[in-house]
Structure 1
């Protein structure tokens, strides 16, 4: 129950604070006085969108704070789940700064808006004129059946199963699309893979082949050069070999004269040995070097194939070509293993669909059980609201399973005896919509523990005796719930346990909206003016007194 509401710097309200009654609270006032501002403020406490345009003073922050008595609503577990401090008198607060920053608090703890919504939706139900028009929506009508039957748990199970089905269906479709795509490329990839495998890339050393080819193609020139080197080193009369050998012979006779000469002889011996090794290697290289046309052809063929493949696959070297081959192999092998993966994905999809279907059928059966008693209660309440000839039927049709189950629900209605019910949105007038919505709220109120219900001109389109009947229903709701209603009808305004009057004050620099509680005599005057205008007659005053009782 809302114990206290503070509105500061919001819309046309500079500052106001009210302490509502636990029963039926009436809000009246002239058109444009700001009666709906309180609904907007409470909407912010329900997690509604904040806007700096709503600030009365653009230089100051806006504060909306509601104190709720939740001591009898068993909400401790919800606070624990949301990691919030539980207080029997819980404070919900929204602040909007001039810069547009919005903050939300529960018991002075900063919270996200989704957390505030989870708490506030258990504290308040705000009904606007827009909600009345939504009554013609099949989605709203389906939600009505689920709320009446307390089927939210089953609806959630269906939603979870539906999400799982959509996930598996999407996975299967993605796999199937991928399969069709790679299937189109499969034969081409097979051809490319065979071409690359036939090239035996793993057995090729491109750098070595290129060096060998260059060597073979220049064999004659290399051979001539090597022979020239050999002539200089060993074959001529004055070769390096002969010269060093002669020097060694000469030094041998001198080695005994000093250690230095002895060391020189040893070094010359070492040079001679090294030179002979070099000569031997050059001779071997020269002997083995010859122009091998067949080998040249074979290497050229291998390299030409390699260069062609590298160009074809747009790679720079052998390593990149091998990586390309391995990628193509993976694609080929993936297609070859697709059948098994597709079968597995399709099996998962079918299992998820069957699970969703089973849960949807359970929900559909539960809905079927509550539709008849809901329609019966609605018809009885509509009769109490002055529509004895009205008849309402709730039609349930099976649809393909979806997020909300496998049902489409449509309310069929006629206000006239002997006429067949037709879709509500096509036949109901504004007043009939209002009474039907009130009947729904009245019935749902008895099914839920919702502490506070707020109506914005739900009495639109009605008058006279019907207004009295509507007021009686609201008064009855007020005996079990805290109810706020913005009304323009004296028959309803007279039934409130507390009456708030909203008016505009033009005395200051800026026009402001104010709200005050009316005492008994002020209520009589206000209701008399609602009956007879700004200058009510004595009869209007008498009627007002009779209505208030």
Structure 2
């Protein structure tokens, strides 16, 4: 429920702050007084796109703030989903800056315009001439039937299954398309993979082969140097080991003379052991290494194959070749397993289609069962609104595709007079007839669907007299279960309001301002009298106004 609206620096409004309560509220005012401005300001705070031309003072920001009582709106899940702070009394604020920047807040938490628009639809349903045109659309007409048939739960189940079906169908189509391209590439990828598989690729292989190649390619130099090394170590006359033997004798004699020489001998022993190990290792190497031209050629061939693959795939090391091999293996495997994956997806689609058909068939049955009573209620309500001969032809026929609300095409035809041909509302219903039909539909929806605050913007267009009186009765009856506003030019409707506001303009210095006030009992009499007979306020107009209020 809307409990407060504050508008600053918008169009002809400097500063407006109005409180509202539950029930039926009527809003009147002369043409051009600013009723549309008030509605425009409310639309902005509900998510309508901002227009810089709406700023009264182009150097100051426009701020529109609305306070809502949400205790009956079941909006906690919406707030949680969009990471908004929920409060029973929620404040929605819209700011439009002179720079053109627009910002929106809910309980001081910023939010996008898209989320604000979604929230706005759940807070206030503004009926305008544009929305009357919605009445001619099949989806809106079907919404009436679904509300009456209590199809909300089934529609939710259908929507979930439709989402799964569409997602799976898209995956299936992508697999088919992938298969077309994959088949073209499969042979080439398999060829590349075989090339890489011809060499056992592993981390460090290239370095290992390059090291082996260097040794075998320089085998004569290796053997020559090992031989020289062994000669230096083991020569009987000048070899290092022979000299170390002499040094050992000297250190043994010294250690026998005094303990302070013992550490020298111990250090020598350690070095001498290492030296003999070195000599032994070099001797083994010299004896074990021999030229192997065949092995050298084999290693050279492997290295050349690796270098060729690196050049072919434009990489610099074996790790990148390993990554490329994995990618190719996945592609080849995916192509080989694609047919099985496609069949699995096709089977899944068939299963989802059966579930979807079951929900859609249930919707169709319930809609057909609800149509006779809806038709009766529409015609009875319109009869009381001055259309005694208005009749409808309503039916559903199967559609060829899954739609967002089922598989039904709706036939919704109207005739306002006896003997007239039935046709779509768009073709045969006048503006006044559309307004009355829309009001009746809203009143039916209000009984079966939890609607937000309803604001009718001149829904009385094209009607007058007793018919407008009855339309006012319908809106007042609706307000027993929800908050209803009506912006109206008709005194018969204005008099039905539990609360009556007047929008008017005042001149202040060099500017015109739009203001709004709630009328007291006597003020309502004068306002209704003016609406009935003009500014002259005749006794008969005043008497008629009092009669309307009573």
Matched position secondary structure for 1:418: coil
Deviation digits for residues 9-42 of structure 1, max 9, x if unmatched?
363442343556845x432211221123444455
Q: Is the 8 A contact 2:203 2:319 kept in 1?
A: no
Which blocks of at least 5 consecutive residues in structure 2 are unaligned? none
User: 1:502 corresponds to which residue?
Assistant: 503
Q: Is the 8 A contact 1:248 1:268 kept in 2?
A: no
Change (3 A) 1:416 1:336: same
User: 1:386 corresponds to which residue?
Assistant: 386
Alignment of 1:375-414 (within 5 A): 375-399=375-399, 400-414=401-415
User: 2:461 corresponds to which residue?
Assistant: 460
Change (3 A) 1:295 1:398: same
Q: Distance in 2 between matches of 1:266 and 1:453?
A: 105
User: 1:514 corresponds to which residue?
Assistant: 515
User: 2:106 corresponds to which residue?
Assistant: 104
TM-score, with normalisation over the residues of structure 1?
Answer: 0.77
Q: Is the 8 A contact 1:213 1:296 kept in 2?
A: yes
Q: Is the 8 A contact 1:6 1:66 kept in 2?
A: no
Matched position secondary structure for 1:347: helix
Q: Is the 8 A contact 1:146 1:367 kept in 2?
A: yes
User: 1:29 corresponds to which residue?
Assistant: 29
Q: How many residues align?
A: 531
Q: Is the 8 A contact 2:16 2:516 kept in 1?
A: no
User: 1:428 corresponds to which residue?
Assistant: 429
Matched position secondary structure for 2:508: coil
Mean Cα deviation higher: 158-167 or 327-336? 327-336
Mean Cα deviation higher: 325-334 or 524-533? 524-533
Alignment of 1:64-103 (within 5 A): 64-65=66-67, 75=72, 91-96=89-94, 101-103=103-105
Matched position secondary structure for 1:413: strand
Q: Is the 8 A contact 1:471 1:491 kept in 2?
A: yes
Alignment of 1:359-378 (within 5 A): 359-378=359-378
Q: How far off its partner does 1:521 sit?
A: 6.0
Q: How far off its partner does 1:132 sit?
A: 0.9
Mean Cα deviation higher: 395-404 or 11-20? 11-20
Q: Is the 8 A contact 2:50 2:96 kept in 1?
A: no
Change (3 A) 1:324 1:86: closer
Q: Distance in 2 between matches of 1:67 and 1:310?
A: 70
Q: How far off its partner does 1:150 sit?
A: 2.9
Change (3 A) 1:448 1:228: closer
Q: Distance in 2 between matches of 1:132 and 1:254?
A: 117
Q: Distance in 1 between matches of 2:246 and 2:126?
A: 122
Q: Distance in 2 between matches of 1:120 and 1:269?
A: 94
Q: Is the 8 A contact 1:35 1:502 kept in 2?
A: yes
Please say if 1:199 is aligned against 2:199.
yes
Q: Is the 8 A contact 2:506 2:512 kept in 1?
A: yes
Q: How far off its partner does 1:434 sit?
A: 1.4
Q: Distance in 2 between matches of 1:273 and 1:540?
A: 131
User: 1:7 corresponds to which residue?
Assistant: 6
Q: How far off its partner does 1:180 sit?
A: 4.2
Matched position secondary structure for 2:386: coil
Mean Cα deviation higher: 213-222 or 145-154? 213-222
Q: How far off its partner does 1:239 sit?
A: 5.3
Change (3 A) 1:405 1:285: same
Mean Cα deviation higher: 283-292 or 372-381? 283-292
Matched position secondary structure for 1:506: strand
Alignment of 1:117-516 (within 5 A): 125-201=125-201, 205-223=205-223, 240-241=238-239, 259=256, 291-399=291-399, 400-448=401-449, 453-463=454-464, 467-479=465-477, 481=479, 483-496=484-497, 498-508=499-509, 510-516=511-517
Structure of greater Rg: 1
Mean Cα deviation higher: 33-42 or 125-134? 33-42
Q: Distance in 2 between matches of 1:335 and 1:138?
A: 45
TM-score, with normalisation over the residues of structure 2?
Answer: 0.77
Which blocks of at least 5 consecutive residues in structure 1 are unaligned? none
Deviation digits for residues 340-387 of structure 1, max 9, x if unmatched?
433333333322222222112111211122222222222232232223
Mean Cα deviation higher: 450-459 or 350-359? 450-459
Q: Distance in 2 between matches of 1:251 and 1:528?
A: 135
Q: How far off its partner does 1:504 sit?
A: 0.3
Deviation digits for residues 480-532 of structure 1, max 9, x if unmatched?
52543222234444555554332101135642222334566655554454455
Q: Distance in 2 between matches of 1:214 and 1:182?
A: 43
Q: Distance in 2 between matches of 1:278 and 1:85?
A: 79
Change (3 A) 1:531 1:300: same
Q: Is the 8 A contact 1:50 1:102 kept in 2?
A: no
Q: How far off its partner does 1:127 sit?
A: 1.6
Q: Is the 8 A contact 1:375 1:392 kept in 2?
A: yes
Q: Is the 8 A contact 1:44 1:94 kept in 2?
A: no
Q: Is the 8 A contact 2:175 2:342 kept in 1?
A: yes
Mean Cα deviation higher: 199-208 or 157-166? 199-208
Q: How far off its partner does 1:456 sit?
A: 0.7
